[in-house]
Structure 1
Amino acid sequence: MQWNTLFKKEMVESWRNKKLIWVPLVMILLAIMDPISNYYMPQIMEAVGGLPDGTVFELPDFAPAEVVMMSLSQFSTLGVLIIVLISMGTIAGERKSGISELILVKPVSYSNYITAKWAALLILVWVSFILGMLASWYYINILYGSLSFGDFLLISCFYGLWLAFVVTLSIFYNSMIKTPGLVAFLTILTIMVMKGVTQVFNHLLEWSPNNLSNYIFQMLLTESIPSNLVGTAIVTIIMSIILLILSTVIFKSKELAQ
């Protein structure tokens, strides 16, 4: 009952500040931007002009698997940035303003407080991502060729784990720090460091969460689920669970220390 109340509070707040509207819209825009712009690029260049007479502007014929990876690349950059920005003040902002103290002065469980915020944020991100991928899947099938709905579901499930990890990482830093800007900085920095370390030591870190996109592309090319994709997905889930548990422990210790 307590968790449900906290969760509903977060969802109502997301509705009031219009996150439930603009976040899905932005995710849809990110997902369809590359598929549409690449398909119509010759017409766009011709309409804009500025090219010498007789110039022929041609793009390679992209396969559906390549185009869907373009959408995922947008989520990996701008999408992650949006997630960090909407989540950076989830707990840190309330701690800084003192709202969290007003809530926790009641018999509210620290774990309920953390997990309710995490779940509400995760649902917002997942719903937005799935709507974006649905829009991308629709245009890919119209413009580039067939991409099965089964592939769409697999892509959404596996890549959704990466977005869940990003959300959990932001919640983790939220539990430690009261400054939203610093939470955003550390979250993005951690993701960048993980990416760099994974690239350098890829032979040792084959199951790093940063490799999910690569294995998803491999899955689309081979039309089978690689064992490395399953292993990476399991590691990503485990790391997210550990971060969520640590978030509760750290948040409770800091609040009790005040």
Structure 2
Amino acid sequence: MSQWLTLVQKEILEMWRNYKWIWVPITFILLGVTEPLTSYYLPQILDSLGGLPDGTKIEIPIPSAQEVLAAGLGQYSTIGVLIIVLSTMGLIAGERKSGVAAMILVKPVSYLSYVTAKWAGSLLLVWLSFFIGYFATWYYTGQLFEWVPIGEFFLSYLLYGLWLTVILTITVFFSSSLITPGMAGFSSLALVLILSIVSGTLSHLLEWSPAQLTSYASVGLVTGELPEHTLPASLLAAAIIMTLLWLSVIIFKKKELATT
């Protein structure tokens, strides 16, 4: 256990050196404040653009605080996912390519500890960055509209964070399977995109898909009730995370042993 904690600490320190602890949270904060500010100041923004005939009035219905918070979550489905993949695609593939992984594994370090420590370090970065960004969304929504109950905030945070964990684990899987970080990132984005599109198109058939957790979190915010398939989707997401981690260790071990 002490060896694993040492590896996690090494990963956290490495992310400090790469400034990930700075630019990833800042990016998530910018994503977080965009939606409430845009929703509140949209009429003024449209008026400043001009180009409308005199006397024209644009009446935009004021969204509820829950709708603004749910729309804020949508920001993380695009740029947020891209940030996660770009910041973690070289997690293992980069060290394999540079030979650092081989140097670490020469010591009495297990493949399981190596892979899971990297995953855990990145998981801490993702969850903390997402919390800071989403908390900024909640705070500005409360200041500009009305306060959403903190319980609803945390519930949607956990559901959405679980989906982001699936994305992170997919990236770790491809990073351990491929030696090129760029290919690992491309493969991860492609799989996440396909999963999201298929789950959205066939939502009536794939109600248990982990990709549905994004919509379930939003629905829970707007309606105050979670859809009935939230628990199966969450359990399947947890199973996928564990399976992909297990496969990552096995594939990484085979590839490393093949090269030695």
- Tell me whether the two structures share a fold, i.e. TM-score over 0.5: yes
Q: Report the AA paired with residue 175 of structure 2.
A: N
* Cα displacement string for residues 204-232 of structure 1 (whole angstroms, at most 9, x for unaligned residues): 32110111122122222332333311111
Compared CA separation, residues 48 and 196, structure 1 to 2 (3 A): closer
The alpha-carbon deviation at position 48 of structure 1 amounts to: 4.0
TM-score (norm 2): 0.95
Q: Which residue is equivalent to 1:116?
A: 117
For structure 1, the 5+ residue unaligned runs are: none
1:92-241 aligned within 5 A: 92-241=93-242
CA contact (8 A) 2:32 2:137 kept: yes
TM-score (norm 1): 0.96
3-state SS, counterpart of residue 227 of structure 1: coil
Q: Which residue is equivalent to 1:20?
A: 21
Alpha-carbon distance between aligned partners in 2 of 1:146 and 1:223, rounded to the nearest angstrom: 14
Runs of 4+ in 1 over 6 A off after TM superposition: none
Q: Percent identity?
A: 47
Q: Report the AA paired with residue 52 of structure 2.
A: L
CA contact (8 A) 2:7 2:114 kept: yes
Alpha-carbon distance between aligned partners in 1 of 2:194 and 2:243, rounded to the nearest angstrom: 19
**Superposed CA RMSD:** 1.4
The alpha-carbon deviation at position 162 of structure 1 amounts to: 0.4
* Cα displacement string for residues 129-180 of structure 1 (whole angstroms, at most 9, x for unaligned residues): 0011111001111222231001111011111100100100000000100111
The alpha-carbon deviation at position 185 of structure 1 amounts to: 0.6
* Cα displacement string for residues 82-123 of structure 1 (whole angstroms, at most 9, x for unaligned residues): 000000111111111111111111111101000010000010
Establish whether residue 51 from structure 1 lines up as the match of residue 55 from structure 2. no
Alpha-carbon distance between aligned partners in 2 of 1:66 and 1:27, rounded to the nearest angstrom: 19
Q: Which residue is equivalent to 1:83?
A: 84
Q: Report the AA paired with residue 242 of structure 1.
A: T
For structure 2, the 5+ residue unaligned runs are: none
